[in-house]
Amino acid sequence: MLSSHGVSSPDVSLAQAFIAARGVPCAPESLPPLQALLARALGTAREPWPGVALDGARFVVHLARLLPAQAPSEDVEKFHLPDVYLARAAADQLPSALSAFEASFMPEVNAAVARLKLPPSGLDEVRQLLRQRMLVGSQDAPARLAAYPGTGPLSGWVRAAALWLALDWQRQRGGHPQADDGDLSLLVAPGDDPELVYLKNTYRAEFSASFTAALGTLEARQRNFLRMKYLDGLSIDQLGALYGVHRSTAARWVVAAQESLLQETRRLLTEKLRLTGSQLDSVLRLISSQLDVNLSRLLRSKVE
Average pLDDT over residues 207-213: 75
Q: What's residue 8's pLDDT?
A: 57
Grade residue 219 by pLDDT with cuts at 50, 70 and 90: confident
Q: What's residue 70's pLDDT?
A: 82
Q: What's residue 238's pLDDT?
A: 79
**Most trustworthy range by pLDDT among 54-58, 137-141, 174-178:** 54-58
pLDDT digits (tens, 9 = 90+) for 60-82: 999 998 888 788 999 999 999 99
Who has greater pLDDT, 196 or 17?
17
Who has greater pLDDT, 78 or 209?
78
Strand partners, 193: none
pLDDT digits (tens, 9 = 90+) for 124-166: 888 998 888 888 877 667 888 888 888 888 888 888 888 878 8
Nearest to 294 by CA among 224, 230, 205: 230
Q: Which long-range contacts (CB under 8 A, 24 or more apart) does 251-258 make?
A: 253/221, 253/222, 253/225, 254/225, 254/226, 254/229, 256/222, 257/218, 257/222, 257/223, 257/225, 257/226, 258/226, 258/288, 258/291
| pLDDT above 70 for 301 | no
User: Helices 194-202 and 277-289: crossing angle, nearest 10°?
Assistant: 90
Q: What's residue 175's pLDDT?
A: 41
| Integer CA distances (angstroms), 39 to 31, 164, 208, 269, in order | 12, 36, 52, 56
User: Could you give the CA distance from residue 303 to residue 216 in angstroms, rounded to a whole number?
Assistant: 8
Q: Where are the domains of the chain?
A: 13-174, 184-300
Q: What's residue 282's pLDDT?
A: 65
| pLDDT above 90 for 52 | yes
User: Any idea how long the chain is?
Assistant: 304
pLDDT digits (tens, 9 = 90+) for 249-295: 888 888 888 888 878 877 887 777 766 666 666 666 656 555 554 56
Q: What's residue 189's pLDDT?
A: 47
**Most trustworthy range by pLDDT among 7-11, 184-188, 212-216:** 212-216
Handedness of CA 93, 109, 220, 283 (dihedral sign): negative
Tally of CA atoms within 13 A in the half-sphere of 211 that contains its CB: 29
- CB under 8 Å to 142, separation ≥6 — which residues? 91, 242, 243, 244
pLDDT, averaged across the chain: 78
Who has greater pLDDT, 5 or 247?
247
User: Could you give the CA distance from residue 53 to residue 42 in angstroms, rounded to a whole number?
Assistant: 11
| Integer CA distances (angstroms), 129 to 91, 199, 234, in order | 15, 41, 19
Tally of CA atoms within 13 A in the half-sphere of 82 that contains its CB: 12
Nearest to 113 by CA among 160, 172, 156, 174: 160
Average pLDDT over residues 49-67: 94
Who has greater pLDDT, 232 or 298?
232
Burial of 184 (0-12, 13-18, 19+ CB in 10 A): buried
Q: What's residue 276's pLDDT?
A: 63
